[in-house]
Structure 1
């Protein structure tokens, strides 16, 4: 039996690559290979970082100001404040360091949304397109 989380990376990749109002942003360096982070941008200029390599959830990174006001209850939410040179949260942990390579994220407070289901991911992505 396939777990929902096992199908989520493929769903996200398909949804994001097929949507006409979302484009993938080139990685900062050719050697990064987008192993730990893929970045997209909506036609309205809203960035989205996706970590596809997690086992129990998929992390979606948004600027805090772009986050939906209603976040589904099954989504793990972590706020990351910009400190002037990096991001930090109350637990002392930072953000994915690859985010610093994208001007769309640098200087902004972020929110990391740990998504486990396609329905929750689609709700967040649909909000991002508004």
Structure 2
């Protein structure tokens, strides 16, 4: 993992601890292994965070309210539609199945936002916290 990604993860963790509160999973077996879910103290919006990748951080947000009006061009956005307890995109690829353990996401259209810089992460987190 590069220093840039390590710094990104540290910055995301610091922002989450300062301005968000963790949401416990309703299922014991989904507990924070590949996904952490947090709620902003301001607007009370949920965000799923995947910090286990070596090249990026993934944010999962409920559409449309979890999306900033304008995303930086460097953020890769993939929309997913609910399909039963899971989600799929236009190419048939799914979402992190642990999201279904959180009421905030269940049955809602979501987006995965893939970021590689602290600045891009702040655009998303600033929007969520209001």
Identify whether the pair has TM-score above 0.5, normalized to the shorter chain: yes
The 4+ residue runs of structure 1 with deviation greater than 4 A are none
CA RMSD of aligned residues (A): 1.4
Matches within 5 A, 1:63-82: 63-65=62-64, 66-82=66-82
Structure 1 CA distance, aligned partners of 2:67 and 2:109?
11
Is the partner of 1:14 in helix, strand or coil? helix
Structure 1 CA distance, aligned partners of 2:13 and 2:28?
20
**What residue in structure 2 maps to residue 117 of structure 1?**
117
1:28-81: CA deviation from partner (whole Å, max 9, x where unpaired): 344544110000012322100000101111000000112112011111110001
1:70-112: CA deviation from partner (whole Å, max 9, x where unpaired): 0111111100011233211011111100000000000110010
TM-score, normalisation: structure 2:
0.90
**What residue in structure 2 maps to residue 49 of structure 1?**
48
- Any unmatched runs of 5+ in structure 2? none
Is the partner of 2:106 in helix, strand or coil? coil
Is it true that 1:37 corresponds to 2:45 in the alignment? no
Matches within 5 A, 1:75-94: 75-94=75-94
- Contact persistence 2:44–2:129 (CA under 8 A): no
Structure 1 CA distance, aligned partners of 2:107 and 2:40?
19
- Any unmatched runs of 5+ in structure 1? none
**What residue in structure 1 maps to residue 7 of structure 2?**
7
